[in-house]
Amino acid sequence: MPSMLEVSELTHTYPGQQAHTAIGGVSFEVTAGQLTCIVGPSGCGKSTLLRCIASLVTPTAGQVRLRGQPVRGVPEDLAVVFQDYGRSLFPWMSVRGNVEFPLRSRKVPRAQRRRRALDTLERVGLSGAEDKYPWQLSGGMQQRVAIARALACEPALLLMDEPFASVDAQTRFELEDLLLRVRAEQDTTILLVTHDIDESVYLGDRVLVLSKSPATVLADVEVELGQQRDQISTRESELFVRLRGEIARTLRNAPQNRGEGDHEGSREDEEPGPDSSGEDRADEPALAGSDSAGSERGPTE
Ligand SMILES: Nc1ncnc2c1ncn2[C@@H]1O[C@H](COP(=O)(O)OP(=O)(O)OP(=O)(O)O)[C@@H](O)[C@H]1O
Ligand SMILES: [Mg+2]
């Protein structure tokens, strides 16, 4: 399989008096068509990593290559579903207007824009809602609009930042299966951040486990569950249970990185001091519910 994305030693330090190194030398490669999930503790730098890949933030060091070419500026064939979908939809635009919006800047002709928007809305189960406004929809429906908007761009690479974190469990299962369906139909390469270990195993061909901030890759776990997945039987399978245990253990036993005010990269190799013992923090909900720490705004571009 050809390489779609190569991330090499990516590092980002947010500047200022309280400079903070959010990611500290992250490297991985994604082949075309792969669905890679990323899990990591809250605040470890997952959104920062996606923003750097999308060129919404310029990394302090390291490189991102898309199909072998260094990324400079937001790539045309990349789409992002942001963590906070409520803020990413335009409330003054209809559902169809929101989905069509990124197609306009891509100079897709009007009739084709309209057809693509309606087709994609149908695929995500929103036929009939095209003339409504986002605020007239439930949270799950709004999230479908955000997904439709990204898919309508027919991206080669789709970045999703905790796309199902704010919906109820049943809707979440439906949206997960929708994503698997779409992925099978469209053969898109997907990089999906989640704080939910089970979700990462259910959806992923592979799971990258990140350390605490500044994030580094702790483990790269292959998920050999096959393409056909089922919310009940897959989650009951021996392999699923083993993998989720392996990922949870990796996170719990991870050394503590000290990122606060840090200008350097990862300090993964340092011995934890008496106040920062890994044991002490092992019981923290490593992947507790996530509020957006980021400042994502605007459309899916
Ligand atoms: N614009 C910014 N300026 C300064 N620091 C920032 C900025 N955005 C994020 N950070 C800091 O960088 C670190 C990583 O943030 P990021 O949003 O990437 O984490 P995350 O893993 O996505 O968190 P969550 O799981 O809560 O979504 C956090 O400590 C955060 O406070
Ligand atoms: Mg985040």
52 lies in the same domain as 174:
yes
Pocket test for ligand 1, best of 12, 37, 47, 57 (most atoms within 8 A of CB): 47
pTM of the model: 0.84
CA of 31 to the centre of ligand 1 (A): 27
Question: Higher model confidence: residue 285 or residue 152?
Answer: 152
Is residue 197 domain-resident?
yes
81-99: pLDDT as tens digits: 987 767 789 999 999 999 9
Residue 111: domain span:
85-154
Nearest ligand (C-alpha, residue 215): 1
105 lies in the same domain as 253:
no
Pairing assessment for the beta strands 20-31 and 3-14 based on DSSP bridges: antiparallel
Mean pLDDT to the nearest integer, 215-230: 96
Name every residue whose Cβ is closer than 8 Å to that of residue 189 and which is 6 or more positions away in sequence. Answer: 4, 5, 30, 31, 32, 33, 34, 35, 156, 157, 158
Helix, strand and coil content of the chain, in percent to the nearest 5, comes to 35, 20, 45
Contact 154, 76 (CB under 8 A): no
CA of 215 to the centre of ligand 2 (A): 12
Q: In this structure, which residue's CA is closest to atom 14 in ligand 1? A: 45
Is residue 200 domain-resident?
yes
Contact 270, 258 (CB under 8 A): yes
Q: What does the pLDDT read at residue 107?
A: 87
Is residue 301 domain-resident?
no
Q: How many domains does the chain have?
A: 2
Is residue 49 domain-resident?
yes
Contact 211, 219 (CB under 8 A): no
1 lies in the same domain as 121:
no
- pLDDT band, residue 257 (cuts 50/70/90): low
Least reliable range by pLDDT among 66-75, 188-197, 220-229: 66-75
222 lies in the same domain as 133:
no
Q: What does the pLDDT read at residue 294?
A: 34
Least reliable range by pLDDT among 62-66, 76-80, 90-94, 213-217: 76-80
Q: Residue 30 phi/psi, 5° resolution?
A: -120, 130
Contact 300, 102 (CB under 8 A): yes
Share of the chain above pLDDT 70, in %: 84
On average, the pLDDT of the chain sits at 84
Pick the atom of ligand 1 nearest to 195's CA. Answer: 25
Chosen domain end from 131, 154, 177:
154
47 lies in the same domain as 148:
no
201 lies in the same domain as 93:
no
Q: Residue 28 phi/psi, 5° resolution?
A: -170, 165
pLDDT at 23 over 50: yes
- Residue ranges lining ligand 1, Cβ < 6 Å: 14, 20, 22, 40, 42-48, 83, 195, 213, 290-295
50 lies in the same domain as 186:
yes
Chosen domain end from 154, 185, 201:
154
Looking at residue 176, which CATH number applies to its domain?
Answer: 3.40.50.300
- pLDDT band, residue 136 (cuts 50/70/90): very high
Pick the atom of ligand 1 nearest to 162's CA. Answer: 27
CA of 166 to the centre of ligand 1 (A): 18
Give the three-state DSSP class for 78.
strand
Pick the atom of ligand 1 nearest to 290's CA. Answer: 26
Q: What residues does the ion ligand 2 have nearby, CB within 5 Å?
A: 46-47, 83
253 lies in the same domain as 112:
no
Is residue 299 domain-resident?
no
93 lies in the same domain as 194:
no
150-190: pLDDT as tens digits: 999 989 999 999 998 878 888 889 889 999 998 888 879 99
Q: Rounded distance, CA 275 to CA 171, Å?
A: 41
Q: What does the pLDDT read at residue 223?
A: 98
- The amino acid sitting at 59 is P
- pLDDT band, residue 260 (cuts 50/70/90): very low
Is residue 221 domain-resident?
yes
Q: What does the pLDDT read at residue 58?
A: 94
Q: How many C-alpha atoms does 43 have within 13 Å on its Cβ side?
A: 8
Is residue 265 domain-resident?
no
Nearest ligand (C-alpha, residue 39): 1
Is residue 101 domain-resident?
yes
Which is it for the CA torsion 194, 199, 201, 202, positive or negative?
Answer: negative
pLDDT at 46 over 90: yes
pLDDT at 290 over 90: no
149 lies in the same domain as 162:
no
CA of 43 to the centre of ligand 2 (A): 7
Contact 301, 104 (CB under 8 A): no
8-21: pLDDT as tens digits: 999 999 999 889 99
149 lies in the same domain as 161:
no
Chosen domain end from 137, 154, 171:
154
181 lies in the same domain as 192:
yes
